[in-house]
Amino acid sequence: MTEQDDQQAQQGYLLLADISGYTAFLTGTELEHSHAIIRELTKLIRERLAPPMRFVKLEGDAVFCYADAGAFADGERFIELIEVCYFDFSNRLLDMTRATTCRCDACKAIPTLGLKFVTHFGAFMVERDDGREDLAGPDVILVHRLLKNTISDAGGPQAYAFFTEACVKRLPPSFNLPQHSETYDSFGETRGGVHDLKPVVEEMRAARREYIGPDDADLDASFEVSFPPSIVWQYFVDPDKRLRWQTMQTSVKNQPNERGRQGVGSSSHCAHGVGGDVLREYLDWRPYNYYTHRFTPLPNGFELAPPAVETIEFFPLEDGGTSVHWRWRLQDRSPETRQRFEVSSSAMRADWPSGRVRLMKAIEEDMAAFALDQPGRPEDGLNRLL
């Protein structure tokens, strides 16, 4: 990026993920153990947020990230990213607590740690020096001020994501949040919505698992792509992105669940031209690991395949890529149905290699478009994809 490019303000998402209880944890425990624990947790947070967000820096107990305005075609993906990060953080705390045999004060105090997020959508300048990146501007100052807030006072949620009003406008209309405001010198009143994350984690842990493993599948196909699961996931669940590479479909219409979200209880109506229509009802939703849906052909054309349950799983690879596994289990496992399925599954297998090529092309096209629109380092396109 040229010096002139650096001087151009850009719009985007600003996010701080802050470990709560950090100061008391460090000052009241053994430094070596407490520092190692915090380092492991901040590393986890960074890995869960970037990509699709771009990591800026670690600020003690807080991870600072940003993403361009076009990074999230659907604001629900932004919410999902935060929810998954908090879910994995909570699980890591449980794992660390259960696994440790150390009786030091630091290890005993692990359950006292928490995580909160503050987010804002605004303008900022990107400053680069010796390969390092930082952000500047009033909106950057504001999102940092928001870390000091009264959300948890008087019985408020301890684990939350606060979305400023500017950020809320980019979320799905059905995503209703309790209102909250803070007042800061030089900024006046800042209003927004609070998303309590504790019920989200409880719901995700309690949700019934619907998973088709390799031993249960009537069809298990796979391929690898050189992009991380957080990127590839979007090209399977977002209707517009799906249509660009799953060319057997002519249209995709999503029906949200009762909470107005995509996930368990939502569905997808897919048209396949002469192949007829298909209803996909989501039974399990684990970003960015896997999702499972019920596949039901509708009686308005040639049956694309018999009714089945599908699991699409995304395995991260050491080189940063993803191994995608697509598994089917027939609902009717009679010899006649299995024989019919042999015909359709052969066609699916035949299309799998070209499907991988189309998927890679779609992602690469988006990378190139973002890199052209926002000149920068070669990897910038990947960090702007969602």
Asked whether residue 233 falls in the same domain as residue 346, the answer is yes
Confidence at 12, pLDDT banded by 50, 70, 90: very high
Residues spanned by the domain of 277: 208-381
Strand ranges of the sheet holding 267-271, from the earlier edge strand across to the other edge: 219-225, 322-330, 308-316, 290-297, 277-286, 267-271, 251-255
How high is the mean pLDDT of the chain?
86
pLDDT value of residue 385: 46
CA distance 103 to 30: 11
**Domain match, 159 and 217 both:** no
Q: What percent of the chain has pLDDT over 90?
A: 53
Same domain, 167 and 56: yes
Look at residue 272 in the predicted model and tell me its pLDDT: 67
202: buried, middle or exposed (CB in 10 Å: 19+, 13-18, 0-12)?
A: exposed
229 and 349 share one domain: yes
Tell me, yes or no, whether 164 and 212 share the same domain.
Answer: no
Quote the pTM value.
0.82
Render pLDDT for 370-383 as a digit per residue (tens, 0 to 9): 654 444 443 444 44
Q: How far is CA 230 from the centre of its chain?
A: 6
Q: Count H helices, E strands: the chain?
A: 13, 15
Residue 110 lies inside a defined structural domain of this protein: yes
pLDDT at 28: 60
Q: How far apart are CA 17 and CA 82, in angstroms?
A: 9
135 and 284, same domain (yes or no) = no
Question: Of 178, 204, 230, at which residue does a domain stop?
Answer: 204
Look at residue 376 in the predicted model and tell me its pLDDT. 46
Number of structural domains, the chain? 2
**295: number of Cβ within 10 Å:** 20
Q: Residue 35: its pLDDT value, please?
A: 79
Of the three residues 169, 204, 239, the one that is the final residue of a domain is 204
- Give the mean model confidence (pLDDT) for residues 147-161: 93
Contact call for residues 233 and 286 (beta carbons, < 8 A): no
Q: Is residue 260 part of a domain?
A: yes
Predicted confidence at residue 92, as pLDDT, reads 92
C-alpha span between 162 and 52 (Å, rounded): 19
β-pairing verdict for 160-164 and 114-129: parallel
Q: Tell me the CB-side half-sphere exposure of residue 358, using CA atoms within 13 A.
A: 15
Q: Do 249 and 188 have their domain in common? A: no
> Could you tell me the CATH number of the domain that includes residue 266?
3.30.530.20
What number is the average pLDDT over the span 138-163? 94
Q: Which residues pair with 232 in a beta bridge?
A: none
- CATH number of the domain within which 17 lies: 3.30.70.1230
State whether residue 233 is helix, strand or coil: coil
Task: Give 105-149 pLDDT, tens digit per residue.
Answer: 777 788 889 999 999 999 999 998 877 889 999 999 999 999 999
Q: Is residue 386 part of a domain?
A: no
pLDDT at 191 over 70: yes
Block residue for tokens 């992105």: 241
- Report the pLDDT value the prediction gives residue 378, as an integer from 0 to 100: 39
Verify that 68 and 194 share a domain, yes or no. Answer: yes
Q: Say yes or no: 222 and 317 in one domain.
A: yes
**Res. 2 pLDDT band, cuts 50 70 90:** very low
Residue (of 375, 262, 369, 381) closest to 5 by Cα position: 375
Return the pLDDT at 375: 44
What is the tens place of the pLDDT at every residue in 290-348? 999 999 988 765 567 889 999 999 999 999 999 999 999 999 988 888 888 888 788 78
Whole-number Å distance between alpha carbons of 60 and 88: 20
CA–CA distances in Å: residue 217 to residues 214, 264, 296, 308: 5, 21, 17, 10
* Pair 57, 150 in one domain: yes
135 vs 223: CA distance, rounded Å: 38
- Asked if residue 220 has pLDDT above 70, the reply is yes
Which pLDDT band, with edges at 50, 70 and 90, does 45 fall under?
A: very high
pLDDT in tens, 46-89: 999 998 899 999 998 899 999 998 888 778 899 999 999 999 99
